[in-house]
Amino acid sequence: MRSSLSCEHCRKAKVKCVHTGSAPCQRCQRLGTSGCEITRPIVRSAKKAVRRAQNEASLTPRDDVSVISSTAGFQPLPSPVSSRQTTSYHTSDTVDEHLARLPIGIILKALNIFTAKFPELRILQASAFIKEYQTARSKESKALLATILAITRKQCSIVTGDWLRSLKSSECYASYAWSNLSDAILQPPKVQVVQALLILTLYEWGVREYHKAWMHCGIAIRIMQSLHSSRVSPHPLDMSQNNDTDVMAIAVEARTYWACFIMDCTINSGTYNPRMLPMSEMHKLKVPRPLNYTDFAFGFDAASLDHICTGDLSGLAQSFETIATGFDIYAQAMSFVFNNGRCAPGMCAPENCPTIMLHREYFPFLPTADLTPRGPVDPPLLEAEAPPGWWDESARELFNAAEQIASLLQEASECGIPLMTPFSGFCAFTACFLNLYVFRFPRMNLNRSSKAEQLMNWGLEYLEEFQNAWELAGGWIKTIQNSSLLYKRATEDAGRYRGRSRADFETLHQSIHEYRIVDRSDQHLQQISHADRNTARREEEAVASQVHVASNMGAVVNASVLDPFPNWWSMLQEVEFTDVGNLWNGMREL
């Protein structure tokens, strides 16, 4: 239990505040954080009233979900109506004036937060960006600044400061940015337009405007392809394009191209849409490797530029290239899963198992409580036996990965740098589901996941906090709750879902893989109820009872009506069948 006494820093980081009753707490003392004050939390009576009303009005028996309770104050989010329609009162001129009045200090703070919190879009070179904005102040640079402010504003739940009060809403900045970009996308290509579209894509994905995100990502890629083509083509179609030979400008373009690759992996994975920029295409186009972070941020000399193509991938400085490689692996894995996974033709053959092997895809979706690590228990089954101990090692890798993801996110929050990007939320959701799975079925990892329950509950707390920044978390939370309901029932009553497989929970199984998730709770609960043998037994008993009542009522009715032909079979004794035969033969002779 957490004490109600806590400091504000620990509350915002969603971590336990350890103290002796007076400031500073152990965490603030360790991190050297000033201004630590031990206080009681502010009581939000409205939130409690909403929660109470939800509990009373709930029509679904969710009180037995599991240790994962319904999220406090959580309400299903409506399908996102275009947020830009709500900001029509912010005219372009008004936002222009607002951006012109913003102090350079606020712009630098927003730029720093964006760079720190969104490593997958670390594409802005601070000095070049500020120089461009202060001198030219073109429509493209203003649109780029607006997208930075839009996505930074979404971090207000984890970022504090009086300067945030001077900013407008995220929706206002996003609307303004698109109004400027809509004119620029058909003009000669500029890297600022690509960067603004990529940031806008990430913002729209986080607020569940998936179609807009997909379209804007595609536009950004096409413009970037045009930019790159005009630079590397020996015979460019438009000689006026891209005459900039500045080495930093080339480095910014290369990094932006790789950001297009990352966003393409993010947006198209798990949507049944083909990627526009596979890794093979990036190599074919000879897109330069991105500069390491130090050289990109502070400049570089000719020796550093020559080292780009031969440098080592290891080290934090080269993290952007590592992220790009990681997203490529992620996109391939998601493509495998969404193309029917192990159910696809040939994927259970021995020659394919070692090369494409997603551990979770081959583990039973609904094991029994006493089941130990093994492969699929429902068709299609593997065509060959695994070597001894193979599944034990597979389970160790799978659940260790979930534990490490949850621990990394938790440690980042404890250090005061919580990650709240859409993809980090998806990672937390995936880890939370696996920790739920191994908590309910501990023998599936040979009882090696001792912290599964703790990490599962922390993962749900993270998603609740994540939901304050991005609406994307709503469907993930519901999926975790519904999975918890299924697994809790299955472990408490072994016969309740005996013989059921993942085919009986197709929608729920689909939801645990989805990055772009929607709330399918109704379908989840219908399938869980459908597969419940107790429910089927009760329905059969109800039908039998109705039949029994109907038969009794029929007997009473029949007793009150006189039968006009009682004992009709006795009449057959009085019939001479020989006479009937003679009559038939006579008719034939006629």
CA–CA dist 257, 250 (Å, integer): 11
Please state the φ and ψ torsions of residue 532, each to the nearest 5 degrees. -75, 115
Give the model's pLDDT for residue 357.
46
Looking at per-residue confidence, does 175 or 245 come out higher? 175
pLDDT of residue 557: 45
Which is nearest to 298 in space by CA: 183, 476, 176, 127? 127
Q: What is the pLDDT of residue 360?
A: 80
- Grade residue 222 by pLDDT with cuts at 50, 70 and 90: very high
- Give CA–CA dist 228/265, Å, rounded: 19
| Structure confidence at residue 452 (pLDDT) | 96
Considering only residues 362 and 112, tell me which one the structure prediction assigns the higher pLDDT.
112
Q: What confidence tens digit (pLDDT) does each residue in 367-407 have?
A: 999 999 988 888 888 888 888 998 999 999 999 999 999 99
Q: Which residue reads 């620990």 in tokens?
A: 10
Angle (CA) 253 256 261, round 5°: 130
**Number of C-beta neighbours around residue 318 at 10 A:** 18
b/e per residue 531-551 (b: at least 16 CB within 10 A): bbeeeeeeeeeeeeeeeeeee
Dihedral (CA of 95, 99, 102, 106) sign: positive
Q: What percent of the chain has pLDDT over 70?
A: 72
Nearest to 476 by CA among 55, 57, 76: 76
Quick check: 214 pLDDT over 80? yes
Q: Sorting pLDDT into bands at 50, 70 and 90, what band is 13? A: confident
Highest mean pLDDT among 13-17, 163-167, 524-528, 542-546: 524-528
**pLDDT tens by residue, 34-81:** 778 888 765 444 444 444 444 444 444 444 444 455 444 444 444 444
pLDDT at residue 306, rounded to an integer: 54
User: What pLDDT is attached to residue 44?
Assistant: 46
CA distance 349 to 363: 16
Assess whether pLDDT exceeds 50 at residue 1.
no
Contact between residue 154 and residue 470 where contact means Cβ atoms under 8 Å apart? yes
Q: Where are the alpha helices (DSSP H) in 415-532?
A: 422-440, 452-469, 473-492, 506-511, 521-531
Q: What is the largest CA-CA distance in the chain?
A: 123
Q: What is the pTM of this model?
A: 0.70
C-beta separation of 212 from 204 below 8 A: yes
In sequence order, which ranges of 344-472 are alpha helices (DSSP H)? 359-362, 390-414, 422-440, 452-469
Q: Which helix (H) or strand (E) holds 7?
A: strand 6-7
State the average pLDDT over residues 565-574. Answer: 41
Cα separation, 55 vs 307, in Å, equals 61
Q: Which residue has the higher pLDDT, 353 or 142?
A: 142
Q: Which residues contact 269 (CB under 8 A, 6 or more apart)?
A: 275, 330, 331, 334, 335, 338, 515
For residue 271, the model assigns a pLDDT of 67
Tokens representing 508?
A: 């729920």
Give the mean model confidence (pLDDT) for residues 226-235.
Answer: 80
Please determine, for residue 585, whether its predicted confidence score (pLDDT) is greater than 60. Answer: no
Nearest alpha-carbon partner for 340 in 521, 531, 527, 506: 506
Please give the average per-residue pLDDT across 117-141, as a whole number.
88
Q: Which pLDDT score, from 0 to 100, does residue 232 have?
A: 76
Residue 306 contacts by C-beta under 8 Å, 6 or more apart in sequence?
A: none
What pLDDT was estimated at residue 65? Answer: 43
For residues 340 and 356, the answer to whether their CB atoms sit within 8 Å is: no
Comparing 516 with 25, which gets the higher pLDDT? 25
> If we measure between CA atoms, which residue out of 478, 488, 369 comes closest to residue 65?
488
Look at residue 311 and tell me whether its pLDDT is greater than 60.
Answer: no
As to burial, measured by CB atoms within 10 angstroms (0-12 exposed, 13-18 middle, 19+ buried), residue 590 is exposed
Look-up: residue for tokens 């980042």? 412
Q: What does the pLDDT average to over 435-462?
A: 96
More confident of the two residues 544 and 360: 360
| pLDDT for 584 | 46
Name the residue with tokens 């695994």: 386
DSSP calls for 31-94: HT-S---EEPPPP-HHHHHHHHHHHHH--S--TTS-SSPPPTT--PPPP---GGGGGTTS-HHH
At 587 the pLDDT is 46
